[in-house]
Amino acid sequence: PADAAAPRAGAARRPRRKWEVFPGRNRFYCGGRLMLARHSGVFALTLGLILVTSGLFFAFDCPFLASHLTLAIPIIAAVLFFFVISCLLQTSFRDPGILPRATPSEAADLEKRIDSMGSSTYRPPARTMEVVINKYVVKLKYCYTCKMFRPPRTSHCSVCDNCVERFDHHCPWVGNCVGKRNYRYFYAFILSLSFLTAFIFACVVTHLTLRKCLGQHSPNFLDLCFTVLELVICFFSVWSILGLSGFHTYLVASNLTTNEDV
């Protein structure tokens, strides 16, 4: 019994890692190497739609198109598919740029400094601080949750309960905030997804048109249903994805974030 209690005592004395005591609303996996928002059901829907639509395309359209047109079609689709999935996972599981909260001692010290900036005739004291960056005066706002003055272009996400550097927006479709450290992957994801969706849509239309011109019919009714399902999903998805890609291309060109533009 004493020997069995020793490992438990050792485990109890083990210092807890930062991700184990993380105050935000996130879930961590693989020993804290991967993170995701707590409410990630829409992310599963996004991943499922991509996998199902692409899987149906590879199963029911690619064999016909490869034999009647060119083998390049399934190769291009496969490259786009793996790139889209890679960018999605990088966006969803990567730290978006979360800034650590102030420790209790740091927060207490900062509160004293803020109180000293106030006066007896003005309460509560100002929760802003002006700093000079590249000869320009920048006003920093105080975050009451993280107990710190936020750097420029940083905002507090109400969903994940974190201050995120160069915060763009919280995207439920990827199950994470989009910020400084994962925006490039998010932009690559929506851009490549728009290409993949448009490519599959064009190929499915070509498949159905070729069958009609050649006087061929689908091997069975189920194959036709799956092909039409791909067509419907891509048709209703491509417009919103293309619009989102265009909007973020404008933001990139203007050096803006969604949070700053809206």
What tokens were used for 216?
Answer: 């061929």
Alpha-carbon distance of 203 to 78, in angstroms, equals 13
| pLDDT at residue number 190 | 97
Q: Determine which one of 87, 146, 160, 171 is catalytic.
A: 171
Determine contact, residues 142/129, Cβ cutoff 8 Å. yes
Q: Where are the alpha helices (DSSP H) in the chain?
A: 2-13, 41-60, 62-68, 72-93, 104-117, 183-213, 221-254, 258-261
Q: Which residues contact 258 (CB under 8 A, 6 or more apart)?
A: 168, 169, 178, 248, 251
Return the closest-CA partner of residue 234 out of 195, 198, 189, 261: 198
pLDDT at residue 131, as a whole number: 76
- Which structure tokens are listed for 187? 């932009």
Q: What is the pTM of this model?
A: 0.83
Question: Residue 124, preceding bond cis, omega within 30 degrees?
Answer: yes
* Residue 138 pLDDT: 82
Q: Is 213 a catalytic residue?
A: no
What per-residue confidence (pLDDT) applies to 120? 47
Paired with 98 in beta bridges are 164
Q: How far apart are the C-alpha atoms of 96 and 178, rounded to whole Å?
A: 6
**Contact in structure between 206 and 73 (CB atoms under 8 Å):** no
Whole-angstrom Cα distance, residue 50 to residue 233?
10
Q: Mean pLDDT, 10 residues at a time, over the chain (262 residues)?
A: 53 63 76 80 93 93 89 95 97 91 73 63 59 80 86 90 93 94 96 96 90 70 80 90 95 94 82
The pLDDT assigned to 121 comes to: 45
